A = this chain, B = another copy of it.
Amino acid sequence: MSGPVNVSAGRQYRAIPGPSVVPDQVLQAMHRASPNIYAGELVEMTAGLIPDLRRVARTQHHAAIYIANGHGAWEAALQNTLQPGDLVLVPSSGRFAVGWSEMADSLGIETQVLDFGTRAPWDMASIGEVLAADTDHRIKAVLGVHVDTSSSIRNDIPGLRQLLDEAGHPALLMADCIASLGCERFEMDAWGVDVMVTASQKGLMMPPGISFVFFNDKAAAARAALPRISRYWDWAPRANPEEFYQYFGGTAPTHHLYGLRAALDMIHGEGLDNVWKRHAHLAQTIWAACEAWGAVGPLRMNVADRALRSHAVTALHIGAPDGTRLRDWVEQNLGLTLGIGLGMAAPKSPEWHGFFRLGHMGHVNGQMVMGLLGGIQTGLTALEIPHGTGALEAASRVLAGR
């Protein structure tokens, strides 16, 4: 054979774990003149976004929209419920749990991080012990990352609620669903979550730029008890605005709101249960290929137990420098971009080049996933990285329901 030919020119597929692929409908909706922000279409439309956001979060409670990325939503959740000197418990199975705790730390909040590494979910017994031991209820909140985008571990949020209940502990249960909302089952009210944060650029299929905090009455009471809250982060006027600008603590994110309307229409048009099933089915398809590749050679999925894997992102290790070589090859030759590894090694360190991730969140379907897997197969082959055979057919059988 004559060696590879560069066949990258065509539609680029960025299979990174966010920002995810933005649907044409969302981009079309955002390509418009600036609307009036005082009356008319935008003002009326915005009121209708709130119930549809709540439906995605499975909550009857309150929703606040922020012009911010997910880190901003983290801060918003903390600023509305905690004050300097408060203690929070942060069970960690990845970089983003650490990030949230660092955010709390920067606000003067004391953090107790339970570090379960980057390849295992929370150890529920350990968490239970800490809660039980906290008899004077110094812990004011437990910050739980539902799916850690770095490790692709999905943690047990309902289990965390059960631990709090068993310990009779009044701490707020706060969940980060940035990488899971709109991708896999999350039931804010049924699971007893008090505060949930998420952002626009993953399961919600939008460009980054807005994020969301959902909260229940218990969390609202915590806010009411604070001596002060920054006006920008204060969720009370955002959730119950008297004037339109209060939804956003100032000027509305006009174009993102139109995009959000289109994205919510797509999600509810498909049906949230169907959206979850789609993500689950595509995740299983991807796992089938990864497991087959891993039968021979260095590739392994970060999370061994299928029950603990995210349906939206998959973290992998293949050994340095092949992670980076593979990512580079498929991008430069096939028009396929894979995600870098995160939180597994110091950025750009030698070991860092051994990790990568796949995003499969939001606007993703069967043919896209087969393109993703076919691209990886091709990269492994071109780079002569040892791998098991039959991966694509194994994935295809899962996809076919056989």
CA distance A335 to B270 in the complex (A): 14
CA distance A39 to B365 in the complex (A): 20
Interface centre among A7, A37, A375, by most chain B C-beta atoms within 10 angstroms, is: A7
Is there contact, CB below 8 Å, between A363 and B251? Answer: no
Please, which residues of chain B bring their CB within 8 A of the CB of A33?
12, 14, 21-22, 24
Chain B residue with the shortest CB-CB distance to A333: B366
Q: At the interface, yes or no: A49 with Cβ under 8 Å from chain B?
A: no
Is there contact, CB below 8 Å, between B67 and A19? Answer: no
Is there contact, CB below 8 Å, between B367 and A334? Answer: yes
Interface centre among A37, A373, A396, by most chain B C-beta atoms within 10 angstroms, is: A396
The digit string for A59-84, where 1 denotes a CB below 8 A from any CB of B, is 00000000111111011000100000
Please, which residues of chain B bring their CB within 8 A of the CB of A31?
24, 27-28, 30-31
Please, which residues of chain B bring their CB within 8 A of the CB of A339?
38
Is there contact, CB below 8 Å, between B375 and A366? Answer: yes
Q: At the interface, yes or no: A297 with Cβ under 8 Å from chain B?
A: no
Is there contact, CB below 8 Å, between B281 and A7? Answer: yes
Q: Specify how many copies of this chain sit in the oligomer.
A: 4
Return A18 CB to nearest CB of chain B, in Å.
7
Chain B residue with the shortest CB-CB distance to A13: B367
CA distance A335 to B368 in the complex (A): 8
Return A100 CB to nearest CB of chain B, in Å.
10
Q: At the interface, yes or no: A393 with Cβ under 8 Å from chain B?
A: yes
Chain B residue with the shortest CB-CB distance to A233: B75
Q: At the interface, yes or no: A392 with Cβ under 8 Å from chain B?
A: yes
Is there contact, CB below 8 Å, between A270 and B9? Answer: yes
Please, which residues of chain B bring their CB within 8 A of the CB of A266?
9
Question: Which of B14, B24, B208, B243 makes the CB contact (< 8 A) with A252?
Answer: B208
Is there contact, CB below 8 Å, between B228 and A336? Answer: no
Given contacts A333-B366, A334-B399, 6 further A-B contacts (CB under 8 A): A4-B400, A10-B21, A10-B368, A30-B30, A71-B232, A75-B232
Please, which residues of chain B bring their CB within 8 A of the CB of A248?
69
Return A336 CB to nearest CB of chain B, in Å.
4
Q: At the interface, yes or no: A340 with Cβ under 8 Å from chain B?
A: yes
A370-B365 contact, Cβ under 8 Å, with A21-B33, A30-B31, A69-B251? no
Q: At the interface, yes or no: A145 with Cβ under 8 Å from chain B?
A: no
Question: Which of B29, B366, B372, B381 makes the CB contact (< 8 A) with A336?
Answer: B366
Chain B residue with the shortest CB-CB distance to A28: B28
A381-B367 contact, Cβ under 8 Å, with A34-B14, A250-B69? no
